[in-house]
Structure 1
Amino acid sequence: MSTQSQTMHLNLFLYNMGHHEASWRHPDSHSDQLMNFSYYRQLVQKAEKAKMDSIFLADRTSTSPNAVENGSLISYEPTTLLAALAAVTERIGLIGTVSTSFNEPFNVAGRFSSLDFLSNGRVGWNIITSGTASEAQNFNLDGIPDHSNRYKKAKEFLEVTMKLWDSWEDDAILADKENGIFADKQKVHEIHHKGEFFKVRGPLNLPRSPQKRPVLVQAGSSEDGKEFSTQYADAIFTAQPTFEDARAFYQDVKGRIAKNGRDPNQVKILPGISFIIGNTEEEAKEREEELAKFLNFSHSLIQLSNRMGMNLTSVTLDKPLPALPNTEEIQGHQSRTQLINKLAQSENLTVKQLLLRLGGGRGHFIISGTPARIADELEFWFLNKAADGFNIMPQVMERDLELFVDFVIPELQRRRLFRTEYKGYTLRDHFGLPFPKNHFITN
């Protein structure tokens, strides 16, 4: 396994036509290719050629007629698309989102173990709890469970899943044809888990995968989310709109990781950065303003309502955001709601101004400029301990990814801030992570 490098990690957040809400309307987008596999294959192979650590697929398990009319785009189920992408790539990591609120540990353990085998050890699981009533109502529920209980369930869900991944010891398979013994049954374990939320016998019907278990990724920045991620995650995706916010989050989370008895260097913090690139600052600004003209504010209010877990579709655009409940009363996405509310208040934004800010990055850091300026910003965050790397979020996917790969990454490589070649084959290799021990083996 490769040793941990002193260079940054770069993950491509692969999101439909791009991370700007109106990207699908832009002339450089080809929305007719949205369900065409070749579109995703081309993007991921481009990221792999640039030696990026991984790609990441989000997931949302609900939509509505109003949302799809105004541009809430359809998307593949992540693990299905990752299986196809595993067959057309060799080195880049493949991270997919699956919710602990609407699945069972046995299914998820088998799905990601299968993907890890198919990809020769390149898979990661982005663990979410989901946060909207509309999602819950697609899974035999009237509403979303409260925030703390979702994380309580997620913790047990993950613990069961890890037991299942460990249920085969590494040398369990004998393949002894002469004596007719395929596996040593003493090294295949029923887990007999009985908890508050799950009752699972085990074992998994797959041996331990190439990475022993997939890389674990988490994106919650609430108190519950940080407590969960600092106990379990190998990488943390986070939305931080400023360098100051990102550095404070970084220091807080790294401290919590150490208090939990883990090595802070082995948990990668990757803030999102949403960007538009131009040959000049003026060109980049023009492209940013052009995208803003395609925004549909009715749709943007629907998106804002979904992110904050409350109905804001009738608010007045030219007035400030209405007063929100206290954090502990929010049962949806607490950290994102706090972030958006802080942004609106600190800059005294009207709802329309807020929607324009959120349209390009949903609360993530947004920058437009030349490749050198983008590289300067990434370098500053990285060297000043606000990030171990970045979740790269092109606002217009094809156009801005190509510019990032062709101009920003070479500049980072020139500064010796990013790899020029892969040093390993697994996602653990790329992140400099050890292989986890099997908890059934005590010595």
Structure 2
Amino acid sequence: MRRNDQMKLGLYLTRGAGYHPGAWRDPSTPANRGVDIDQYADLAALAEGAAFHLVFLADHQGVIGDHTAIARASGIEGFEPITLLSALSSRTQNIGLVATATTTYYQPYYLARMFASLDHLSRGRAAWNIVTSASNFEAQNFGEKELPDHETRYARAREFVEVVKGLWDTWQDDVFIRNKQSGIYADATKVHLLNHRGKHFSVRGPLNISRPPQGYPVLIQAGASDAGIAFAAEVGEVVYTAEPSLESGKQYYMTLKEKARALGREDDQVLVMTGIIPIVGRTKQEASEKLQRLQSYTHTDVLFEEASLWLGSVTDLRSVNLDSLVPEALPQTNFIQSRQKVLLDLAARRKFTWRQLIRLVSDSRGHRLVVGTPDEIADTMVDVFDQHAADGFNILSATVPGGLKDFVELVVPELRRRGKFRSRYFGETLRENLGLKRSVNRFTQASVSRRP
């Protein structure tokens, strides 16, 4: 199917004062964003006013980091995603609401019910960012010393998603009659038991809320390891990536689409959205000074903790020679394996020292960092889009609200001038606005297929 010639845009709703770890110390940013509903609502309103497709809230089941980092890092406190986005559903009208929830420490019935509720509350604007927990800090909040291994987490995730989708299907779309004269509230032939019995879960069903308006909330994934790409190709309708170079982005895009196609999926039903950190200035010098100021606010403890985490917590960075070249390989991590690989590949291509890589991780965490004028940032985005390295972008504002306002006021008009981004919403649901099909109910489909 033909690819839409306009890119998708999403906003990463940071818990801190911006995606950059030094942002909270900038005089222009609020220091208490994590638990201020009005500030989240203001960011969502900015994105919605610019016709962004969605806002996205990342999450971990715990504080990820040691006490040294906690002392100086922001973004460690914040609302549980589904709770926050349920509140934002009443303060927005069109924009999609993406909540992160782990398959490692939730139960499918509980999560299916929460996302169905969010989809009803928002009238069809919910999405689930499907993740597996990636840190032992999370495991230790659930009675475990360490996480299950990578493959086990993905095996559980695959079964988890199938159970959740099955629960969303247990009520057919037209099950409720609600006829006061006849006294019939629901057609009992159109409600189904799931009766799932698997390796990880045993779930009877049905769900105790009607089918979500979208059929299923939009399913989002971020797999980039071998197991992750296979999972994303199977279940992801939007796939988040961290690809700092054009060539690696093109390779990921091609690989994912090919794997999805082999499973019978259409290209435009699997959308790739890559992360980008735009630092906008009216001149290149102004943009560079903004980044330098944020770097000056970032304490050494935070630099080392960020780099250690995203490289997989497998190296004591305080013991390395910071001016030596980064090795081509590190011990395999049980954290986010794909992010470790992205960072090491980037370091190899650019012949980075440890000092340079640690700084880059702090500034971007492996996402594409673009520092420049509105034209330069638009040039980069259009190039990535036109060369099929992404179908759209997650905007990771280095500071909020200032960085987001700069992007909306200066870059978005330039993208529209080039015909690469829309000026209004065209659909009522998130699926409609993304060009995704409504999910078919397996029980309705089975009933139709049995007819003579």
Quickly name the TM-score band, shorter chain normalised: over 0.9
Q: 1:82 to 1:242 in 2, by over 3 A?
A: same
Q: Counterpart in 2 of 1:314?
A: 318
What does 1:9-408 correspond to in 2, within 5 Å? 9-15=8-14, 16-63=16-63, 64-73=66-75, 74-311=77-314, 312-316=316-320, 317-321=322-326, 324-325=329-330, 329-408=332-411
Asked whether the 8 Å contact 1:271–1:390 carries over to 2, the reply is: yes
Q: Which runs of 5+ in 2 are unaligned?
A: none
Could you tell me which amino acid in structure 1 is paired with residue 318 of structure 2?
Answer: S
What CA distance in whole angstroms lies between the structure 2 residues aligned with 1:210 and 1:341? Answer: 43
What CA distance in whole angstroms lies between the structure 2 residues aligned with 1:307 and 1:334? Answer: 9
Q: What is the aligned counterpart of 1:418 among 418, 421, 439?
A: 421
What CA distance in whole angstroms lies between the structure 2 residues aligned with 1:399 and 1:116? Answer: 30
Asked whether the 8 Å contact 1:165–1:213 carries over to 2, the reply is: yes
**Equivalent pairs: percent with the same residue?**
38
Could you tell me which amino acid in structure 2 is paired with residue 241 of structure 1?
Answer: P
Per the alignment, in what secondary structure is the counterpart of residue 249 of structure 2?
helix
Per the alignment, in what secondary structure is the counterpart of residue 209 of structure 1?
coil
Q: Shift of the alpha carbon at 1:289? A: 1.4
Per the alignment, in what secondary structure is the counterpart of residue 286 of structure 1?
helix
Q: Shift of the alpha carbon at 1:23? A: 1.0
Q: Shift of the alpha carbon at 1:291? A: 1.3
RMSD: 1.5
What CA distance in whole angstroms lies between the structure 1 residues aligned with 2:337 and 2:390? Answer: 22
Asked whether the 8 Å contact 1:53–1:427 carries over to 2, the reply is: yes
What CA distance in whole angstroms lies between the structure 1 residues aligned with 2:34 and 2:434? Answer: 30
Q: Shift of the alpha carbon at 1:319? A: 3.4
Could you tell me which amino acid in structure 1 is paired with residue 272 of structure 2?
Answer: I
Structure 1 runs (4+) deviating above 6 angstroms are none
Q: Shift of the alpha carbon at 1:345? A: 2.5
What CA distance in whole angstroms lies between the structure 2 residues aligned with 1:251 and 1:106? Answer: 35
What CA distance in whole angstroms lies between the structure 2 residues aligned with 1:135 and 1:32? Answer: 24
Asked whether the 8 Å contact 1:285–1:368 carries over to 2, the reply is: yes
Asked whether the 8 Å contact 2:69–2:301 carries over to 1, the reply is: no
What CA distance in whole angstroms lies between the structure 2 residues aligned with 1:198 and 1:299? Answer: 39
Asked whether the 8 Å contact 2:103–2:130 carries over to 1, the reply is: yes
Asked whether the 8 Å contact 2:343–2:366 carries over to 1, the reply is: yes
Asked whether the 8 Å contact 1:4–1:431 carries over to 2, the reply is: no
What CA distance in whole angstroms lies between the structure 2 residues aligned with 1:315 and 1:14? Answer: 35
What is the TM-score of this pair, normalised by structure 2? 0.94
Per the alignment, in what secondary structure is the counterpart of residue 405 of structure 1?
helix
Q: Once the two structures are superposed, what CA deviation does each residue of 1:164-210 show, in whole Å capped at 9, x if it has no partner?
A: 00000011111122232211121111100000000000000011111
Q: Counterpart in 2 of 1:431?
A: 434
Q: Counterpart in 1 of 2:5?
A: 6
Asked whether the 8 Å contact 2:307–2:362 carries over to 1, the reply is: no
Q: Shift of the alpha carbon at 1:55? A: 0.4
Q: Shift of the alpha carbon at 1:323? A: 6.8
Q: Once the two structures are superposed, what CA deviation does each residue of 1:270-319 show, in whole Å capped at 9, x if it has no partner?
A: 01001210010111111111111112222222222222332535333333
What CA distance in whole angstroms lies between the structure 1 residues aligned with 2:329 and 2:255? Answer: 25
